[in-house]
Amino acid sequence: MFKRSIIINQRENSFYHIPSIVTAPDGSILAFCEQRWQSPCDDVGECHIVMTKSIDHGKTWSPMQELRRKDGAKWHMGSAITDMAEGKVLLMCGGGWLQSIDNGDTWLDWKPALHADKTTEGVKYGIGSTHGSTPGIQLQYGKHKNRLVWPARIIISDSGYNDKSISDRREKCYSTVIYSDDHGQNLYRSNSFHQGTGEACLIERINGDIYFNARAYYNDGKRRVALSHDGGTSFMEAPEDVELREVPQGCNASMIRYPQHLLNMDTNHGIPSNDIVLFANPDTEGSNREHGVVRLSIDGGETWKYSRAVTDYGQWFDYSSMTVANDGTILLMYKTTPSMEGIPNSSDECCSMAIARFDLGWLMENNS
């Protein structure tokens, strides 16, 4: 099974960016993004937070809901997370963080205590930001089970920072994670690592290690990798992943573990492992964000044995985010053109949100 459709289409004055998709505790699918008002650019003067919801595993979607909107306000998307142990969804976003205890039907303010003083850098650079990162995860193994972990970026600078400056990104941006052991009441962050990175994704391996994969603001075609053996409290830099291609100056990517209990329901795909991880990004040596490819790892992201293209070369595939529905359907939310075809001729033609729905059978069809 493979289907693609637009779930939020750009229109006059409304341009959509920064997808974040999660499966709520009851199995509903919640898809968030930014609504950039009157301009698609990063430095837009006004930006809102919007959401749409599906209760049938991504087949149909509700009308778009505005979660944070105020004339003249510039509120960017952060990272969402599902806390299955508490039955709630937490959302980091501009305008005040939000939480829902009814699977995204209503939202309340979420005001955790921030504890940056537990890190090696002290309080100087704060807790960090999840802007542009994929959703967080809830740990399932080991002594840190049920810990919430978000990928994040921290800007280490004593002399100001300009996000339009690539040299500033390379010099002053570092990856980190934000974590909580009490369901989001108190937040801490790990050490900072991998200079010149941000907008990352992460998964937990079956052995309890956390595998971290980050966008790099360079032109070397490589993504950066780090590992944690203590539940995200600290990370060690690892060698670059030579199997994954990165477009110049990098791009947000998406990554998720395929749930073991869903894999065990269907053993007809010939996958010889339960440590299944899915990764998607623009897979090209060119300069355009095109040719979205989903890769499958059977060893927790150490290698990527299987892959299949979601879009062709010449079809826009920008930032993305993934989740797995309760029926096993994989949902890949990504930014593209309104027609899902072609490369944008201008920046105001690239800002719709699409969903690719597929299953492991489709992914494995051409991999023997």
Which of 315 and 266 is assigned the larger pLDDT? Answer: 315
Nearest Cα neighbor of 351 from 330, 337, 368, 333 is: 337
Contact predicate 66/77, CB 8 Å: no
Q: In what order do the strands lie in the sheet with 306-309?
A: 254-257, 277-282, 292-297, 306-309
Task: Reply yes or no on whether the pLDDT at 318 is more than 70.
Answer: yes
pLDDT, position 117: 56
> Mean pLDDT for the chain?
92
Q: Which domain holds residue 87?
A: 3-364
pLDDT, position 61: 98
CATH number of the domain encompassing residue 300: 2.120.10.10
Q: Which residue has the tokens 């959401």?
A: 51
User: Residue 163 — pLDDT band, cuts 50, 70, 90?
Assistant: confident
Distance of CA 202 to the CA centre of its chain: 9
Nearest Cα neighbor of 19 from 336, 360, 338 is: 336
Classified as helix, coil or strand, 169 is helix
pLDDT, position 309: 96
Average pLDDT (159-182) is 92
Cα gap 42→15, rounded to integer Å: 11
Q: What is the pLDDT of residues 223-236, one digit of tens each?
A: 999 999 999 999 99
Q: How many other C-beta atoms lie within 10 A of the C-beta of residue 236?
A: 12
Distance of CA 268 to the CA centre of its chain: 29
Contact predicate 136/149, CB 8 Å: yes
The DSSP line for 214-283 is EEESSSSS-EEEEEESSTTS--EEEEEETTS---TT----EEEEPPHHHHTT---S----S--EEEEEE-
Q: What is the pLDDT of residues 19-68, one digit of tens each?
A: 999 999 999 999 999 999 998 988 899 999 999 999 999 999 999 999 99
Which of 183 and 164 is assigned the larger pLDDT? Answer: 183
**11 pairs with which residues across the strands?**
14
Q: How many domains does the chain have?
A: 1
Q: Which amino acid is at 180?
A: S
pLDDT, position 9: 95
Classified as helix, coil or strand, 97 is coil
Task: Reply yes or no on whether the pLDDT at 123 is more than 70.
Answer: no
pLDDT, position 264: 66
Distance of CA 162 to the CA centre of its chain: 23
Q: What is the pLDDT of residues 250-270, one digit of tens each?
A: 999 999 999 988 876 555 566
Q: What is the pLDDT of residues 179-199, one digit of tens each?
A: 999 999 999 999 999 999 999
